[in-house]
Amino acid sequence: MNTDTVYPKVREIIADVLAFDEEEIQRDGSLVEDYSAESIDFLDLVYQLEREFKIKIPRGMIEQEARRGVDEGEFEEHGRLTDKGLEHLRKYLSEVPEDRFTPGMQVSLIPTLFTPETFCKIVIREMEQGERAASD
Amino acid sequence: MFHFVDQILELDPGRHALGIKRVRTDEIFVRLNADGKATLLSCILGEALGQLGAWSVMAAKGFTVRPVAGVVGEVAISGEAAVGDSVLLDTTIDSVTDDAVFYHAAASVGGATVLRLENTLGPLLPMEQFNDPKEMRERFARIRHSGDSAGEPQTGGGTAAPFDLSFDEILSFESCKEATAVRALSGSEAFLRDHFPRKPVLPLSLLLESLLQLGQKLLEDSGSLYVPTGAQKVKMSRFVEPGSSLLAKVQVTERSAENALMKFRCEVNGERVCVGQAEYRAIIGENR
């Protein structure tokens, strides 16, 4: 399964949640910067995706997974990403255009990187995990 | 008083609740409808349903968190509750996570649904920021067991002035097209005492009611009157605190002889506070 299969529905949900026309949603657009998404929108979006795809998306999952394999102090310092943390995040959010990662960026600004494709990846991952759990 | 669940009849915490709201003669949030009958503002029915959902989830979470207004996918207004009516409130929680509750609900009078909420989302925040948890537990115990009707009159003896829904100033008004208006929240508004004691903020229900009424004025034309039938995708993204000046923009996007659609957006200091849309039905020439 790849993200193309879920993208049309994810885009439809994102457009609906953020009150845009579907055609206006770019797959690599920043939900925060380009579509003015705020924290309530992310809550709404995650819930709508969970309902549509019958999955559970753990809260804070993106950040937690991006941190995996890196010690706390290595990932961030005083609320800002270290070079190593940034590198790790860049790999994890490989769908996000390179130029949006800025050295020393604040950890609290990680959600500004999320794109529609980020959520497609999450949906696929959780669907596959659900299938694995069901077959165990 | 900004508490609208008089009694909780049945409760399965975090799942389902049934409650009662009695509409009294001395309510602040009553006004005359097109037929001259004193009825409760529709948005207060929505508030009552939200509060019942809040009791259910607060009880399930041991009064450590409380929901606040977030998103209402749909409000469907299909009737009214008049003075003297007992409104049955029925709230079903679809899911609760650590940070939000999702629910749907219906208010009915005499078996007929008067208002429904669908796809409603409330972020859960630490209770202590908004209320004294002990006070909330005590109130819960009162309405859970015997009901709240005996002890506390809704308006402090019927002397309170009806809630003023109008904006302070209409900045622009183009009939049947769009309008902008401002309202300042001074901090002395009575509803702020309960909503919430530790963090007074404008309730979404009252904001929505104001917007619906502004839209109604905007849609009125010679000989025609439109009444709201609902609202969709209503989203509150920030708290409106005392000292804030709220700028509301409403825009008619569709208008026919039968119905109309209006979009709205509210901002404080240029930041989005609330967006959504509302639907109206024309009752042309009636009751005018």
pLDDT digits (tens, 9 = 90+) for B100-134: 999 999 999 999 999 999 999 999 999 999 999 99
pLDDT at A59 over 60: yes
Q: What is the pLDDT of residues B137-157, one digit of tens each?
A: 999 999 998 766 544 444 444
- How many Å apart are CA B5 and CA B89, to the nearest integer? 8
Identify all chain A residues contacting B100, using CB atoms and an 8 Å cutoff.
Answer: 43, 47
- A69 pLDDT band (50/70/90 cuts)? confident
Q: What is the pLDDT of residue B285?
A: 52
* Residues within 8 A of B (CB atoms), A 67-126 only: none
Q: What is the pLDDT, as a whole number, of residue B118? A: 96
Minimal Cβ distance to B97: which of A16, A39, A59: A59
Active site residue B195: yes
| b/e sequence B60-93, b meaning 16+ C-beta within 10 Å | bbebebbbbbbbbbbbbbebbbbeebebbbbbeb
Instruction: Compute the distance between CA of residue B244 and CA of residue B239 in angstroms, rounded to an integer.
Output: 10
pLDDT above 70 as % of chain B: 92
Q: Which site among A42, A47, A50, A61 would you substitute to test the B interface, given the most B Cβ atoms closer than 10 Å to its Cβ?
A: A47
Question: Would you state the pLDDT for residue B158?
Answer: 45
Helix, strand, or coil (residue A58)? coil
Rg of chain B over all Cα atoms, to the nearest angstrom: 18
Q: What is the pLDDT, as a whole number, of residue B1?
A: 85
CB contact under 8 A, B100 and A38: no
Q: What is the pLDDT of residue B31?
A: 87
Q: Would you call B267 exposed, middle or buried from its count of C-beta atoms within 10 A (0-12, 13-18, 19+)?
A: middle
Distances (CA, A) of A46 to B91, B171, B276: 22, 37, 19
Are residues B70 and A40, on separate chains, in Cβ contact within 8 Å? yes
Quote the minimal CA–CA distance from B60 to chain A in Å: 20
Distance CA A93, CA B253 (A): 39
| pLDDT for position B159 | 46
Confirm if B108 and B48 have CB atoms less than 8 A apart: no
Phi-psi region of B157 (alpha: psi -120 to 50; beta: other; left: phi over 0): left
Q: Is B71 on the interface with A (CB under 8 A)?
A: yes
| Res B238: pLDDT | 94
pLDDT tens string B11-22: 999 999 999 999
CB B256, CB B202: distance < 8 Å: no
3-state secondary structure of A117: helix
Mutant choice from B65, B102, B263 vs A, greatest count of A C-beta within 10 A: B102
C-beta atoms of B236 and A19 within 8 A: no
Hey, what are B240's tokens?
A: 């409106």
**Distance from C-alpha of A118 to C-alpha of A66, rounded to nearest angstrom:** 12
Using CA coordinates, name the residue in chain B closest to A36. Answer: B272
* Residue A136's pLDDT band (cuts 50, 70, 90): confident
Q: Answer whether residue B95 shows pLDDT above 80.
A: yes
B-contacting residues of A 45-74, CB under 8 Å? Answer: 47, 59
Size of interface A-B (CB pairs under 8 A): 35
pLDDT, residue A70, reads 84
Model confidence pLDDT, tens digit, residues B264-275: 999 999 999 999
Contact A38 B121 (CB under 8 A): no
Contact B70, B121 (CB under 8 A): yes
8 Å CB contact of B233 and A40: no
Helix axes A39-53, A116-135, angle to 10 degrees: 40
Q: Using CA atoms, how far apart are residues A50 and B269, in angstroms rounded to an integer?
A: 34
pLDDT tens for residues B154-195?
444 444 555 667 899 999 999 999 999 999 999 999 899 999
Task: Please state the rounded mean pLDDT for residues B36-55.
Answer: 95
What per-residue confidence (pLDDT) applies to B154? 45
Q: Which residue has the higher pLDDT, B208 or B158?
A: B208
**pLDDT digit string (tens) for A75-116?**
899 999 999 999 999 999 999 999 999 999 999 899 999 999
Task: Kindly report the backbone phi and psi dihedral angles of residue B231, in degrees, each rounded to the nearest multiple of 5, phi listed first.
Answer: -145, 150
Instruction: Tell me the sheet residues that pair with B184.
Output: B245
Cβ contact B237–A38 (<8 Å):
yes
Task: Give tens-digit pLDDT for A33-47.
Answer: 999 999 899 999 999
d(CA B272, CA B286): 37
pTM: 0.90
